[in-house]
Structure 1
Amino acid sequence: MDSDRPSWAGRPDRLMLGFRSLFPVLTLPLSIIAVGTLGEVEAEEPEHVMVYDEPGRFAAWPANGGLWSWDGGQELVVTFEVGWFRDKPDHEDGHARDERSCDDYLARSLDGGLTWEWSRYSQFGGGGEYETLKEPMPFGAEGFAFKSQGERF
C-alpha cells in the first residue's frame, strides 16, 4: 500500500464511515453557534392550580381517562378517578387509598385551566338495563364525545 495515500483511499465504504464518525464532531459546534445566535428565549413560568381537592379523598390517573381541549385551550375537560385516602405504612406497596372502588369524575375549565368545576359522572357499564339505540351514534358530529375504558363506559 502506498504510504502517501489515506487508508480509506479507493474504498468508498471507508470514506463514508470516516464521514459518519466526523459528522457529530462537525455539526455539534455549528449547532451551538446557530443556537447562540438566536438569542435568549424566555420561558413562561407555569402556574400550578388545584383541579380537585377534597379532604379524605384520593384522586389519580387523569392520563388514563383523557384530557380534551377546545377553543384554543380555553375550554378543558379531564377525567380522573376518586377513591378514599388511606395512609399506608412505608413497608406496604401500592397507592394510598383504601380497597373501596373508585368513582369516575370529570373536571371542566372554561378559562384555560385557571379555575375548575368537577363532578362525579355516571357509568353505563357494570350492570343496569340497556336500551337499544333509536338512531345511530353521531360520531362525526361537532361536540360529540364518547369514552370507553375496559369494561366501563
Structure 2
Amino acid sequence: MPGLFITFEGGEGAGKSTQVRHLAAHLGAAGHDVVCTREPGGTPGAEALRDFLLFGGHDLSLRAEILGHFAARFDHVDRLVRPALRRGAIVLCDRFVDSTLAYQGYGQGHADPDILDLIAALTAQLGLMPDLTLVLAVPRARALERLRARGGAADRYESADESFH
C-alpha cells in the first residue's frame, strides 16, 4: 500500500494522543493527507465496542475480552485504516496490537502461552502491521498527574491497580 501506518504505544498518560496531534499538525502543514485514529475505536462500530470494553461494567472472560478488542480492530482496519493507506494517507493511530499484547497478554494473561498464541493468531489474520511504532514512556507518578488533570471518568484500564501497570 502506498500510505504509511504509524502507531503510538505506551501506558496510560504517556502522551500518545498529544504526540499524534502534534505529528498530524506537522505532517498536514507539509501537505500530507493525514488520518488520526485510535484503538479501540476509529469507526462507529469500533467506538461502540470501545465503550463496552472500557466502560461497560461487564466482566468478560479474558478470551472474550481479547476477541472484543480484535472485533473492534478488524472493523477499524477494514473500514478506515486500509482504505486510507490505499489512497496514500499517513495513518497515525493511538494504540494497536502491541497494547493488546501488553494489557491482555501480559497484564491480565500473565504471559499464558495459550493467550499469547490467540493474540498472535488474530494479529496474523489482520494482514497489516505498522510501518513504525513509537513507544512513549513516562514515570508512573507523572502519568497519574496527567490522568488526574484530564478529568472525566477513568476507564477500566486507567482504574486498574498498580500491579497491572
Smaller-chain TM-score bracket:
under 0.3
Structure scoring higher RCO (CA < 8 A, sep ≥ 6) equals 2
Q: TM-score, with normalisation over the residues of structure 1?
A: 0.23
Higher share of residues assigned helix: 2
* Structure having the higher Rg: 1
Higher share of residues assigned strand: 1
Q: TM-score, with normalisation over the residues of structure 2?
A: 0.22
